[in-house]
Structure 1
């Protein structure tokens, strides 16, 4: 009897183990199926800015590169408004199946710092895929402005606090906060004047409405090269290939000043890990393509560079903390 009891016990153990193994294998089936079949239909790529703008241009370069690698169309959809928040909310609320992605820029982190409440969490509502490109801005004046260098401008601003204004692409933009960070770092107080994009702010500069702007390098490069506008400094720690003759803010004496906006891809929270891994791998492949790399860098004047999912999350968290401090120091009212 004892032998039979022992045998039955061992059989029960084996049966339990087999059941556990089978359960584990069954749990893997949905993930394995997703990995093998994704994607089998078109993918939407949302961004939160106007069609034809810089983000839209980036999205179309990325959509083409991913389409070739995924074997399915990647369809760009612009959902402009609220500094990209409308599109980000749409991505956060989409089905987490890999068929809705979002292209976000540095504005995504600024929203996390500037808005009191959002319809989503800037990091926790998403699975990060990868960064795509980083690019600097440029502090510029009209060619006949008395400031020949950034130190000249700082000296003038110290003599005339609250009298010198600077234009940007809009309230709460990276351009706006780059100017406010310049204020606090240099100990000056230039007054912000928002415009509705790079072109209107450049027109205002050339027309004498504002003496200074913080603008996008790629959109101002032609006017800087022609001599109509003088670039005083780029906002990255080193010079950019697009404007090799314009010094960096650090070269101009403001050590530690670093403003580079960026673009990256994300997906709704809960998107299967194998899909996120696949997308990250395809982005890395795409950025390794010289033609795609050149297109992204030409469109932004920056550096095409990918990341891990976690590194993108870390970047956004760090940017939120950075811009929160700038907003507090500049006493910028937060948006409800």
Structure 2
């Protein structure tokens, strides 16, 4: 008898949970949604956030308010997302740096894969290694030669410690056998300003932010980090073309929500995202924003991507002997 009572209670509770979850998903969203990201205003993450927020707002019928929480390679924003109410009204845009943090930090206040419900990937894109146009190195090969002559004398700027930009530079150090010192900045725009102002001789940045400066002659693109050249910068060779075989760094951006967000809400957000990505205008805006390729996913596929990336970057950090912070 007691067993039957416990079974009935369990069924009742499960039914109540299912009904509540279904109801919350059915009425969702009924108010504005916050979309957080962890990088400076004006950078690639900020631009992507605003484009997808516009598309999601049209699909969901509610405003999507973009909020930047820059710092610590995106970790400040990720922590805020992880600790937000799991009700679908706080979501986040993360980049490849989200997985890298598991490899570069001794400890995090959250787990990059387990503290979130994944929604969908959005876009994949390469990075570009660049110098000021008047810099002596005219190619990546010449830069590597200069770095070998004076180990530790050159530096490169990035959007911050633990970013894909940072690890792309560290991987170049390991692959080319050089020591170019990393200098973190709070976003792409600040690193470009630092390059133009002579604070650093080299930066790793996003092609879209550097394209106009490269085309205008202020900055020289030495190499892109993907195996193939990018459509945005067709005249800039790849790192592999410079003789560093097997070098391949591409980052990505995707949406996620706090752990425990109801499945029905995650399904609604995933459907709205995939639907928005089908819009030709939005797709073009996203691809133009980073010089990349739009690619949506299921929540499960995005989680697998993050887990795979974590494993990859742990290996890179260990091989390059990058100290954790």
Normalised TM-score (structure 1): 0.86
Alignment match of 1:119 (pick from 99, 109, 112): 109
Alignment match of 1:267 (pick from 249, 252, 257): 257
Instruction: Measure, in 1, the Cα distance between the counterparts of 2:273 and 2:39.
Output: 22
In the alignment, structure 1 residue 319 sits paired with structure 2 residue 309: yes
Instruction: Measure, in 2, the Cα distance between the counterparts of 1:323 and 1:87.
Output: 20
Instruction: Measure, in 2, the Cα distance between the counterparts of 1:203 and 1:51.
Output: 14
Q: Which residue of 1 aligns with 2:80?
A: 90
Instruction: Measure, in 2, the Cα distance between the counterparts of 1:215 and 1:27.
Output: 46
Aligned residue pairs, count: 320
Change (3 A) 1:141 1:271: same
Alignment match of 1:77 (pick from 41, 62, 67): 67
Instruction: Measure, in 2, the Cα distance between the counterparts of 1:235 and 1:206.
Output: 21
Change (3 A) 1:223 1:133: same
Instruction: Measure, in 2, the Cα distance between the counterparts of 1:199 and 1:93.
Output: 29
The structure number with the bigger radius of gyration is: 1
Cα displacement (A) at 1:301: 1.9
After superposing on structure 2, the runs of 4+ consecutive aligned residues of structure 1 that deviate more than 4 Å are 22-27
Alignment match of 2:267 (pick from 277, 280, 283): 277
Counting only pairs closer than 5 Å after superposition, residues 1-336 of structure 1 correspond to structure 2 as 28-335=18-325
Change (3 A) 1:82 1:213: closer
Structure 2: unaligned runs, 5 residues or longer: none
Q: SS of 1:251's equivalent?
A: helix
Provide Cα deviations, 1:81-133, integer angstroms capped at 9, x if missing partner. 33222221221122222121111122211222222121111110100001111
Q: How well do the aligned residues superpose, as a CA RMSD in angstroms?
A: 2.6
Q: Would the aligned equivalents of 2:39 and 2:187 in 1 still touch at CA under 8 Å? A: no
Normalised TM-score (structure 2): 0.89
Structure 1: unaligned runs, 5 residues or longer: 1-14
